[in-house]
A and B are shown apart, each in its own frame.
Chain A
Amino acid sequence: MMSTATSSRPLTAPSPHAPAAGGARRRSRTRLELALLLAPALVLFVGFVLIPIAVAAYYSLYSWNGFGPLTNFVGLDNYVDALSGDVFQSAIGHNLIIVALTIIVQLPLSLGLALLLNRKLRGRAFLRMIVFAPYVLSEAVTAVIWLLILQPGGFVDEVLRGVGLGWFVKQWLADPKIVLYTLFVVITWKYIGFGVILLLAGLQGIPAELREAAALDGASPWQATRHVVLPLLGPTIRVWIFLAVIGSLQLFDLVWIMTLGGPANASTTMVTYLTDHGFKRYEFGFGSAVAVILFIICFTFALLYQRFALRRDTDGALTRAVN
């Protein structure tokens, strides 16, 4: 924007000398404005995002227990150790399972709920509140509540027995084979409201005329939804997928409080692994290496997703205006 403004200025100038000075004044004024408006955010961004990333990358090259100077340079050993370790590999696997389940299960679920709650029905505001309520809870509170109701002989077990499904009662958090899926149910319970609200907002943005037009052309409600509403909801869905994937990759609080990554590492995620080694074992150098790996994974995904999935959404909005 700045370049278009400044380059077009001389063309409309009445005299060859005056505009140069005026342009310079304008330019410096623009710079001042930019500096004033951007500086605070930039300082925070550099201080709390860029520098910590650089520092973490620096620490990750040392074997360091957090006390005293960094003396034991180990090069990329920490990265090799992390990536070749069984526990970290399975942690990445757990994160990927959560990512896949999130998209396969949560997306259709929130889409369905959003379509339902977008219709005129009695008690809609109340239902929307119910769906959204878990999202407002902090992850810690969610985790503690579910820890209590999932404990052996707890609420979930009693309800299942009460409705004659006693055979289905499992050791929800103690069986290494199912603990990850139990956690996924809790995650879904907590975050479904976020997806629903986001998609509802997207649905509100679709003009009613389009549905009407489709109906007049003889489209059934299902056809109208399938061929008119869903395509127009595309940008919202793509943003939701982006947020859900990043969130799943960085899953931590719930898991840490409910299982500490156990039993026997069956629910370890990349961030619980990081915390376990960084803060519980005082391997700050190694922990930093894991943090950098996590950062690279998330950053790469973000870039690729922006490039290939989100571009058609941002294409018109941002890129064209700048060019």
Chain B
Amino acid sequence: MRSVHKLSVALAAAATLLLASCSGSGGDASANGPVTLTWWHNRTTEPMKTIWRQIADDFHKTHSDVSFTIEPIQNEQFQTKVPLALQGSTPPDIFQQWGGGGLADQLSSGKIADITQASQSWIGPLGQSAKGWQVGGKQYGVPYQMHAVGFWYRKDLFTAAGVTSTPTTLDELNAAVAKLKAANLVPIAVGGKDRWPDAFYYNYFSIRQCSVDELKTAVEKKDFSAQCFTKAGENLKTFLDTKPFQDGFVGTPAQQGAGSSAGMLANGKAAMELQGDWQPDVMQSLSEDKDLDSKVGWFPFPSVPGGKGDPNSVLGGGDGFSCTTRAAKACADFLGHLVSEDVQKQLAATGSVLPVHPAAVASLKTETHKKIAEYVTKPPHLQFYFDIAMPTNVGQALNDAIANFFAGQGGPDTIVNSVSKAAAGNK
């Protein structure tokens, strides 16, 4: 019974591709006529599901010729649905877009709209946030919210262990880890099963070690052979050798269940976690504690001695949307609406979105988020997550190599080589 279906999943996907490529054409909507935009977004749960609906309705009120068919889709489904849709003849008009190398991959479908012109009048305030959605200097989408990675920590556990201030240097972090261990606490939780949380560490050690130019060149050329990337791996090794994580961390999921790394932090079972700004929402869903916001704090990844990187550079990314070519004009106008000051303030006020428009930062609910947002809006360098910035196959190969490194396999050179190996098409 269990036998038949696994291969057929892959084959059915292949069949869908074939059928999709044979089916009829959608036809171009004229620039001025009424148009209905199909919108795929990943907010399947409240409150954001209703907020997106509301924003679309508001837009329709002022642009009566633009209506919406909204299809909320589970986040994980995008990676399979988007390639199939772009290969077909009726892709969605607006869809969730994380930018970087994944976006560059999608361009070869020829269906992603270049909105460089259409966005000129409103994209200014976004600054370097919008860069991740550019390929070859052209704008192929825009973010509506930013993400930034940093350390979330439990104030109560820090106090219990006698850690009086948040670490600003690697040495201070190591000292905090030692104190927490001495107090019989788990210093840091990490969701090693999911691999990407491991990657945050290597990403940050690289950002602290390498100059901005070295980072840019490496991502662009998919070549991590600059010495600083090996050094970053060595620093990571030294850090791992202090055994800062929970037992069995390579099998711990990042966000599922109370035993996940986020769950451990939420329930006071670990003192720190290197995670994105979305962490409070995830923790809240894994804990009964209504007062959680006041118990957790945030500090940036500490500076690393001897590194060329600016200690204020930030690792992050964002959530955005791309337009397909059928109704690019109407779609671009709508994206302009999403990043306008008013809508951004509305989004920021929900408390779970770091706005891309600097003027909206003040509308954020918690002080922690305001602190992160201020930190993110003016960094000397905003480094896109390596796995998203590079083509998908290269990014995943890098994450796998880092995860193996966390599990004790390979060295800094394995991580560095995984990038050029995957970029050369080797598996």
**A23 contacts B by Cβ under 8 Å:** no
CB distance from A89 to the nearest CB of B (A): 12
Q: A173-B251, A263-B192, A286-B427 are in contact. Are A66 and B87 (CB under 8 A)?
A: yes
Q: Name the residue of chain B whose CB is nearest to the CB of A153.
A: B259
| Cβ-defined contact, A151 with B259, below 8 A | yes
By the criterion CB–CB under 8 Å, are A148 and B110 in contact?
no
B305 on the A face (CB < 8 A): no
Residues of A within 8 A of B80 (CB): 279
How far is it, in angstroms, between the C-alpha of A176 and the C-alpha of B406 when the chains are bound? 12
Contact of B259 among A154, A278, A283 (CB under 8 A): A154
Residues of A within 8 A of B397 (CB): 281
CB distance from B424 to the nearest CB of A (A): 11
Q: Please, which residues of chain A bring their CB within 8 A of the CB of B407?
A: 176, 262-264, 266
A99 at the interface (CB under 8 A from B): no
Is A82 in the interface zone, CB < 8 Å from B?
yes
B230 within 8 A of A: no
Contacting pair A274 B10 (CB below 8 A): yes
B160 at the binding interface (Cβ < 8 Å): no
Q: Taking CB as reference atom, which chain A residue is nearest B21? A: A69
Q: A59-B14, A65-B108, A264-B409 are in contact. Are A174 and B427 (CB under 8 A)?
A: no
User: What B residues does A284 contact at CB under 8 A?
Assistant: 83
Kindly supply a per-residue 1/0 record for chain B positions 233-250, scoring 1 wherever the CB is within 8 Å of any chain A CB and 0 otherwise: 000000000000011111
Within 8 A of B (CB), among A268-296: 271, 274-284, 286-288, 291, 294-295
- Is A250's CB under 8 angstroms from B250's CB? no
* A295-B253 Cα distance, complex, nearest whole Å: 31
Number of contacting residues on B, CB 8 A? Answer: 56
Nearest B-chain residue to A81, judged by Cβ: B427
* Complex: A68 Cα to B400 Cα, angstroms: 27
Q: How far is the CA of A68 from the CA of B425 in the complex (A)?
A: 18
Look across to chain A and name the residue whose beta carbon is closest to the beta carbon of B84: A66
| Contact A67 B396, CB 8 Å, known A47-B15, A260-B193 | no
Q: Which A residues lie within 8 Å of B10 (CB)?
A: 56, 274-275, 278, 287-288, 291
Taken together as a complex, chains A and B put the C-alpha atoms of A107 and B107 apart, in Å, by 52
- Contact string against A for B residues 393-427, beta-carbon threshold 8 Å, 1 for contact and 0 otherwise: 10011001001101111000000000000000111
Interface 1/0 per residue, B167-198 and A, CB below 8 Å? 00000000000000000000000001111000
Partner of A85, one of B248, B396, B427: B427
Binary CB contact string for chain A from 43 to 69 against chain B (1 if under 8 A, 0 otherwise):
000011101110110010001011110
Asked whether any CB of chain A lies closer than 8 Å to the CB of B79, the reply is yes
Closest-CB distance, B163 to chain A (whole angstroms): 24
Is the pair A280, B7 in contact by a Cβ cutoff of 8 Å?
Answer: no
* Contact A281-B250, Cβ < 8 Å, known A81-B426, A191-B2, A247-B2: no
CB < 8 Å: which of B6, B102, B248, B404 contacts A264?
A: B404
Cβ of A265 under 8 Å from chain B: yes
Residues of A within 8 A of B256 (CB): 144, 147
Give every chain B residue within 8 A of A191 (Cβ-Cβ).
2
Interface SS of A by simple majority: helix
A47 CA to B14 CA, complexed, in Å: 11
Asked if A246 CB lies within 8 Å of chain B CBs, one says: yes
Q: B279 at the A/B interface (Cβ < 8 Å)? A: no
A298, B7: Cβ atoms under 8 Å? yes
A250/B6 in contact, CB under 8 A: yes
Contact A56 B14 (CB under 8 A): yes
> What is the bound-complex CA distance between A176 and B251, given in angstroms?
9
Which B216-262 residues have a C-beta within 8 angstroms of A? Answer: 246-253, 256-257, 259
> At the interface, yes or no: A194 with Cβ under 8 Å from chain B?
yes
Interface contact A246-B110, CB-CB below 8 Å = no
Cβ of B368 < 8 Å from any Cβ of A?
no
Chain B 136-179 near chain A by CB (<8 Å), digits 1 or 0? 00000000000000000000000000000000000000000000
Residues of B within 8 A of A59 (CB): 14
Assess the B393–A283 pair: CB atoms within 8 A: yes
Report the bound CA distance from A260 to B109 in whole Å. Answer: 29
Q: How far is the CB of B131 from chain A (nearest CB, A)?
A: 22
Given contacts A246-B3, A280-B396, A281-B393, contact A152 B247 (CB under 8 A): yes
Contact A67 B14 (CB under 8 A): no
Say yes or no for B51: interface residue by CB 8 A criterion. no
Query: B31 contacts the other chain (Cβ, under 8 Å)?
Result: no
Q: In the complex, what residues of B have CB within 8 A of residue A175's CB?
A: 248, 251
Contact check, A288 vs B14: say whether CB atoms are below 8 A apart.
Answer: yes
Chain A contacts for B359, CB-based, 8 A: none
Which residue from B8, B79, B248, B403 sits with its C-beta under 8 Å from A280? B79
Residues of A within 8 A of B427 (CB): 81-82, 85, 87-88, 277, 283, 286
Among A87, A144, A174, contact of B252 (Cβ-Cβ < 8 Å): A174
Measured CA separation A251–B248 after assembly (Å): 24
Residue A252, interface by CB 8 Å: yes
A257 to chain B, nearest CB (A): 9
Provide the residues of chain B in CB contact with A56, threshold 8 Å: 10-11, 14
Q: Output the least CB separation between B256 and chain A (Å).
A: 7
Interface centre among A147, A154, A271 (most CB of B within 10 A): A147
- The proximity string for B residues 258-273 relative to A, scoring 1 for CB distances below 8 Å and 0 otherwise, is 0100000000000000
The interface residues of chain B lying within 8 Å CB-to-CB of A51 are 15, 18
Contact of A173 among B18, B248, B409, B425 (CB under 8 A): B248
In whole Å, how far is B389's beta carbon from the nearest beta carbon of chain A? 15
Q: How far is the CA of A221 from the CA of B160 in the complex (A)?
A: 67
Chain B residues closer than 8 Å to A82, beta-carbon distance: 427
- Considering only CB atoms, which chain B residue lies closest to A290 in the complex? B10
- Let me know if B212 is at the binding interface, CB within 8 A: no
B94 to chain A, nearest CB (A): 18
CB of B129 to closest CB in A, whole Å: 25
> In the complex, what's the smallest C-beta–C-beta distance from B2 to chain A, in angstroms?
4
A237 to chain B, nearest CB (A): 16
Do A52 and B12 have beta carbons less than 8 Å apart?
Answer: yes
- Is there an interface contact between A243 and B11, defined as CB atoms closer than 8 Å? no
Closest chain B residue, CB of each to CB of A272: B6
Contact residues in B for A110 (Cβ distance below 8 Å) = none
| 6 closest Cβ pairs, A-B complex | A174-B251, A174-B248, A52-B11, A263-B250, A68-B108, A264-B407
Given A66-B83, A67-B86, A152-B246, 5 extra CB contacts under 8 A? A67-B87, A67-B109, A139-B2, A260-B193, A262-B403
> Which A residues are within 8 Å of any B CB, using their own CB?
47-49, 51-53, 55-56, 59, 63, 65-68, 81-82, 85, 87-88, 139, 144, 147-148, 151-154, 171-176, 179, 191, 194, 243, 246-247, 250-253, 259-260, 262-266, 271, 274-284, 286-288, 291, 294-295, 298
- 11 A-B pairs with CB atoms under 8 Å apart are A52-B15, A65-B391, A65-B393, A172-B251, A174-B250, A175-B248, A263-B192, A274-B10, A276-B396, A279-B80, A291-B11
